[in-house]
Amino acid sequence: MKHYFLAAFVFVVMISLGVSAQTTRVLSPDGLTYLDVKLADGRLSYSAGYRTIVKAKKKGAKADTLDVPMLLDSPLGVYTNVADFSKNLTLIQDSKSDEPIKQTYQLRQGKQSVITSENNDYNLLLSTPAARRSGVQMAVHFRVFNNNIAYCYSFIQTGETSAIVINGEASGFRLPTDATAFICPQSDPMIGWKRTKPSYEEGYIWDEPITKRSGYGHGWTFPCLFHEGDKGWLLISETGVSSNYCGSHLSDATPDGLFTIAFPMEGENNGFGSTGAQLGLADSKISPNDAQAGVTPWRTITFGSTLKPIVETTITWDVVEPLYEPSIDYKGSRNTWSWILWQDPSINYDDQVKFIDLAAELGWEGCLIDGGWYEHIGREGMEKLFAYCKQKGVRPWVWYNSNGGWNDAPQCARQCMHNSIVRKKEMKWLRDNGVAGIKVDFFPGDKQETMRLYEGLLSDANDYGILVICHGCTLPRGWERMYPNYCSSEAVLASENLYFSQGFCDMEARHACLHPFVRNTTGSMEYGGTALQKRLHKEPNKGNTRRTSDVFELATAVAFQSSAQNFALTPRNLTEQPKFEIDFMKQVPTTWDETRFIDGYPGKYIVMARRHADRWYLIAMNAEPAAKTLTLEPAVLSGFAADKAVLLTDGADGQTPQQEPLKLDKKGRITLTLQPQCAAVIY
């Protein structure tokens, strides 16, 4: 997998400085995704799209291809403290891979367990007058996959300078101005509850013009989904963010459709830490995946004529590498969770016993003990609960406040995760008591300072065999592969809002039919769903009213991908829900071997399937205000054994959940009619 910049390729040396513009085209292995890279008047830019095969006009003639541009001419470059690498660039060398570069790897906690990908590479080595004086060169690395493109920068030491500061990027993404967007605004820093934002928990705009100004004026959080009409769909995100860089997002678009990379805001992390990145330089033999030295994160672009490449993309993990080996064989986990519906008062010894018992009854792996345990249960009480978990065959998970000094979140168990010395002491205690994982909350933004906190926390936890869920946090950026004990991140307006807001309940179906196309495409999502109570409260006749059907809620257990799922079931569900609903929840997995997109439109409906081992789970969810009829063809249903598969629906009225054997017509099809906010599940 190493692609040494000055060793492994035969370079084409550009010595004709009289040429003001040069464009290089790179195709994907299947020849249907194209990347054009242009150096003109000292500035580097790129454009990209896919190619359609055009039938030959004359019999016997060779078929031709037609370019479908998805990303228009967009700038590249980086602003550093030693040189501006966005202008006055000269090309030293460039190279293309001679043949596709193939890899196969395993991903325990993603949408697919064994991933095989291949790509063609294109690399450029550039300099500027100021960079030559400082002894620094910039390389740009492109990888072109089928339906995906990724690029990053690396900085190479050629003189005495061995470290630089990245102040920003010129990296841009220019879209046609008639495109529409499904994107989420970046919030002001240090606002919201106890000054805990930004936490990637804002509301999306839906199918609106890309030139719409974001609500706070700071741009948009990754991932960002765009619709270019009949041409298709485009997804932009980033991956490979570690302690070596900051997290970024997209700026607002200019009137002509240009988004650029935006760095964190000064006020994040309580105003502490740089908004840029401190970067040590690489030597000339370092590739993007070697030791991280001198390398920026990858910018990723996924596109196609349909939504299939968007939902099924693995580009987030294809271009990163594990940063350490797992200390144990980590597994997925289905957890009970009292707090989501019983809230703060449930964080007491007796109520936690009830949820440990519930996990044991369901045959689930874990039980999450949420914030408040430090004060209301105490360490001695927790050790008794840990012992009870062991007796019941359930692994405990424990909530922590990440806080050191970056917000005002008051929940207890503070000052336990903010630096390595106290973390390791805490994690030893957790390991010695059989704790499977931790859920860490209230992170302070996207600065490099905070990325170091994430990496240190994950690395320390791995030393003690502990899994990690992040909450109140940023988007994961390739972390499922980079950090083997990482499970998932919230980074979305999640299920807790069902308890807090009836308006959110009213919109639940629409959000659920959006996330498989946007938030969940590039990283695991800790949503905490599948609430089966109609009233969302500990008391039967209190709380907000759930609008979705029971089967819709069951379907979210498949739609939302996370290797550790904290479900919203309560002890009442064992007696109040039909047995087949509980039976489904007893066996639904949280890790997947394969994911397939079938049909859908963001925020309206979704039909998709996931496979665990040799069993497929197909879901169809309707968020539209009218009933929707869908016909599933034999190719879609080929993984289901007709004599074993079952169909779960909400009945013709949308209010009577039922289970029946899967029955296909003579052509091997099935037609489903889904009422509003209802669903069907086949497994």
Query: Would you say residue 292 has pLDDT above 60?
Result: no
Q: What is the pLDDT of residue 9?
A: 33
Work out the average pLDDT over 542-551. 98
Query: Would you say residue 586 has pLDDT above 80?
Result: yes
Q: What is the pLDDT of residue 57?
A: 74
Angle at Cα 504 formed by Cα 499 and Cα 506, nearest 5°?
A: 110
In angstroms, the CA 251 to CA 258 distance is: 9
Least confident of 51-65, 122-136, 640-654: 51-65
Token digits of residue 182: 């499904």
pLDDT tens digits along 473-498? 999 999 999 999 999 999 999 999 99
pLDDT tens digits along 162-178? 999 999 999 999 999 99
In angstroms, the CA 622 to CA 641 distance is: 25
The answer to whether the beta carbons of residues 14 and 91 sit under 8 Å apart is yes
DSSP H helices, 464-603, are 479-482, 496-500, 502-506, 508-512, 550-559, 573-576, 579-587
First to last CA, the chain: 38
Q: What is the pLDDT of residue 186?
A: 98
Measured in degrees and rounded to the nearest 5, phi and psi for residue 450 equal -75, -35
In angstroms, the CA 512 to CA 505 distance is: 11
Measured in degrees and rounded to the nearest 5, phi and psi for residue 163 equal -150, 140
In angstroms, the CA 280 to CA 244 distance is: 8
Q: How many CB atoms lie within 10 A of CB 384?
A: 15
Q: What is the pLDDT of residue 287?
A: 58
In angstroms, the CA 54 to CA 65 distance is: 5
Mean pLDDT of the chain: 94
Query: Would you say residue 599 has pLDDT above 80?
Result: yes
Q: How confident is the model at residue 285 (pLDDT cuts 50, 70, 90)?
A: low
Cα–Cα nearest to 480, from 526, 447, 530: 526
Q: How confident is the model at residue 369 (pLDDT cuts 50, 70, 90)?
A: very high
Cα–Cα nearest to 504, from 526, 531, 524, 523: 531
Query: Would you say residue 160 has pLDDT above 50?
Result: yes
- The residue with greater pLDDT, 245 or 641, is 245
Regarding pTM above 0.75, the answer is yes
- Residues 454, 455, 458, 463, CA torsion sign: negative
Query: Would you say residue 284 has pLDDT above 90?
Result: no
Q: What is the pLDDT of residue 1?
A: 37
Least confident of 285-289, 450-454, 464-468: 285-289
pLDDT tens digits along 9-46? 333 333 333 346 889 999 999 999 999 999 999 999 99
Work out the average pLDDT over 421-431. 97
pLDDT tens digits along 371-401? 999 999 999 999 999 999 999 999 999 999 9
pLDDT tens digits along 326-338? 999 999 999 999 9
Q: What is the pLDDT of residue 20?
A: 62
Work out the average pLDDT over 113-118. 98
pLDDT tens digits along 331-364? 999 999 999 999 999 999 999 999 999 999 999 9
In angstroms, the CA 226 to CA 247 distance is: 21
Written as one letter, the residue type at 182 is F
Burial class (CB in 10 A: 0-12, 13-18, 19+), 211: middle
Q: How confident is the model at residue 414 (pLDDT cuts 50, 70, 90)?
A: confident
pLDDT tens digits along 176-204? 999 999 999 999 999 999 999 999 999 99
Is the backbone peptide bond immediately before 396 cis, with ω within 30 degrees of 0? Answer: no
Q: What is the pLDDT of residue 59?
A: 78
Query: Would you say residue 643 has pLDDT above 70?
Result: yes
In angstroms, the CA 663 to CA 645 distance is: 9
Work out the average pLDDT over 637-662. 93
**HEC letters along 482-502:** HCCCEEEECCCCCCHHHHHCH
Distances in Å between the Cα of 618 and the Cα atoms of 563, 567, 599, 611 are: 18, 19, 11, 9
Cα–Cα nearest to 135, from 298, 283, 266: 283
Q: Which residues contact 526 (CB under 8 A, 6 or more apart)?
A: 439, 469, 470, 471, 487, 488, 489, 490, 494, 562, 564, 566
What secondary structure does DSSP assign to 276-329, as a single string? SEEEEPB-TT--TTSTTTTBPPEEEEEEESSSHHHHH--HHHHT---SS--SS-
Q: How many residues does the chain have?
A: 683
Element (H, E) at 425: helix 420-432
- Residues 402, 407, 413, 415, CA torsion sign: positive
Hey, what domains does the chain have and what are their CATH numbers?
21-318 (2.70.98.10), 333-587 (3.20.20.70)
Cα–Cα nearest to 27, from 152, 151, 172, 148: 148
